[in-house]
Structure 1
Amino acid sequence: MQRRTLLALPLAAGPAWAQTAETYEAAEQSILAGRLASPSGITIEMPTLSENGNSVDISIRVESPNTRADHVTAIHILAEKNPIPRVASFTLGPRSGRAEVATRIRLATTQTILVLAETSRGQMHRAAREVIVILGACVDGG
């Protein structure tokens, strides 16, 4: 096998999570791992209406003391109607300063965006936001 072929194999295969047909509900349950999520402590800022689903701004802030003993360890973004519901996951630590992330996401159609946040104490927080998408993206599974 040539070096180029060997280096290209992992890229062609893509990430492991993208190759499974995980549903929105299964992704949520996998992250929660049997824990109950508190419906408070998360602020989601994103437009209610997006003209183009190819790039939708989203920022998330989780209330946390951000001490070594009590801090946010992960923030997960799920999109209910995307072909791959796990849109993004961020890992945080006590040195992150604030439990805040901002990014742009692709959305297939009008749907609910779910944010789950994990803390170092094993607590889960949850918030959801509906977004109306005029021109959808990722209709071919990507």
Structure 2
Amino acid sequence: MEFTRRETLALGAGAALMTVLPFRANAAVDDVINEFTGGAAVADSGVDLTAPEIAENGNTVPVAVSAEGASAILLLAAGNPTPGVAKFTFGPLAGSHSASTRIRLAGTQDVIAIAQLADGTFARASKTVKVTIGGCGG
């Protein structure tokens, strides 16, 4: 198989992009958090995040999150190509301020939950999940 000069340059640029991608993912997580919080300070308590320590398959990882008095909870997977997983919103008549779902993880990474509380403050919890088989094409 022969490559033209243009194809070779495109392959090289693609390889260079793949080495920079993990750094952009972390920057994207910070951007998503700042967009959600408006740059406000985030406390390290007030959110309960339940996720397995080890997930044998990254395609279906069970996650549960709750925060008493939350009006919204943002769920992020820091190592995924698109870190935003879900945003749960709760109205004033919500019976509980909790949610559970199954998420897809590309590999071992932090799962992060940010809660916006009714008083306008923000709280955070995170947990590292070790994935043995990636779920995002990895």
Same fold (TM over 0.5): yes
* Structure 1 unaligned blocks of 5 or more: 1-20, 65-71
- Specify the structure having the higher radius of gyration (Cα): 2
Counterpart in the other structure of 1:36? 41
Counterpart in the other structure of 1:82? 80
Q: 1:117 aligns with which of 115, 118, 132?
A: 115
Identity %: 36
Compute the RMSD of aligned alpha carbons. Answer: 1.6
The structure with more helix, counted as a fraction of residues: 2
Counterpart in the other structure of 1:131? 129
Counterpart in the other structure of 1:98? 96
Under a length normalisation based on structure 1, what TM-score does the superposition of the two structures give?
0.75
* Structure 2 unaligned blocks of 5 or more: 1-24
Under a length normalisation based on structure 2, what TM-score does the superposition of the two structures give?
0.77
Counterpart in the other structure of 1:14? none
**CA shift for structure 1 position 29:** 1.4
Displaced runs of 4+ in structure 1, greater than 3 A?
none
Q: 1:134 and 1:29 mapped to 2: Cα distance?
A: 31
Counterpart in the other structure of 2:60? 55
Aligned residues: 113
Counterpart in the other structure of 1:27? 32
